[in-house]
Amino acid sequence: MRKKKIIIGSRDSKLAVMQTELVMEQIRKCNPDLELELITLKTTGDLILDKTLDKIGGKGLFVKELDQALLDGRIDLAIHSLKDMPMDISDDLPIVALPKRGDVRDALILPKGKTLENIDKEILLSNIGSSSNRRKLQIEKLYTGVQTTPVRGNIITRLAKLDRGEYSALILAAAGLHRVGLENRISKYFSVEEMIPAAGQGILSVQSRKDLDVSFLEAINDPLSTYCATAERSFVRVLNGGCSSPIAAHARVSGNEIKLVGLHYNESTKEHIIDSIVGDVLKAEALGETLANKLRGVIG
């Protein structure tokens, strides 16, 4: 009997493909009767590298082409980094599975041959590459006088720019470096207390059409990832947090409880506030909304 074929779409960057292959491996392990095929697409966000995301339309630019491929029936599933996905998801293209979360932390990467022990502190702080306002806000709290510069491109491109001397250091998501086998480039992990992550950081998401039977994904869907993602994305959604907003959210599950820590920034007053909330995991979405409204009530 011929195996049922599922066509899976991915961005064509090295990280995106390797992340997609990790998910495909999990699907195969749980569903040996399926045939999986991978196709890659370039997205607008991958093609425009000379402008920051907030200047060209935001995070949706990393999913638009894959969304269209799903709607056209060219692919059945699309794999994304959850933190790259817009907060409002079309009912026609739901997120249907969230595998177990990877490393949630941000990491500091130095040029080849440099360590925190042998690099001059003034040089280190002179030109750190990061296009994330969330990271910029928090690194400035950690290091007085630090200067950040936007950096675009995939992981390999960014590391090449760093090693050519265009930046003194980079801040990247640890999960991505681990997934492409470049964890040896990490000079320092920032704890989630030092640098609160982006909502959904470290989580891969599987998106599909609403009419597709995705029961074969049940075995790879992780409840803890789902609870955390729900709380974090709910928090950001209420605050209308796009890619240019320095908003952060991180949730942890312990037993039947979830603790959500959120950072809200008021663009008008340049104030920011951090607070947390604890509650039942089954109320993850409501907890995110409650914390967001609380912080907005304090600083607007």
Q: Which residues are catalytic?
A: 84
Report the candidate in 272, 78, 117, 103 with the shortest Cα–Cα distance to residue 197.
103
Instruction: Give, to the nearest 10 degrees, the angle between helix 155-163 and helix 14-30.
Output: 140
Phi, psi of 259 (to 5 degrees): -110, 125
Residue in 132, 106, 104 with CA at minimum distance from that of residue 202: 104
The tally of CA atoms less than 13 A away on the side-chain side of residue 143 is: 18
Asked if residues 204 and 82 have their Cβ atoms less than 8 Å apart, the reply is yes
What Å distances lie between residue 173 and 121, 140, 183, 197, CA to CA?
22, 18, 11, 9
Residue 267: CA atoms inside 13 Å, Cβ hemisphere, count? 9
Length of the chain: 300
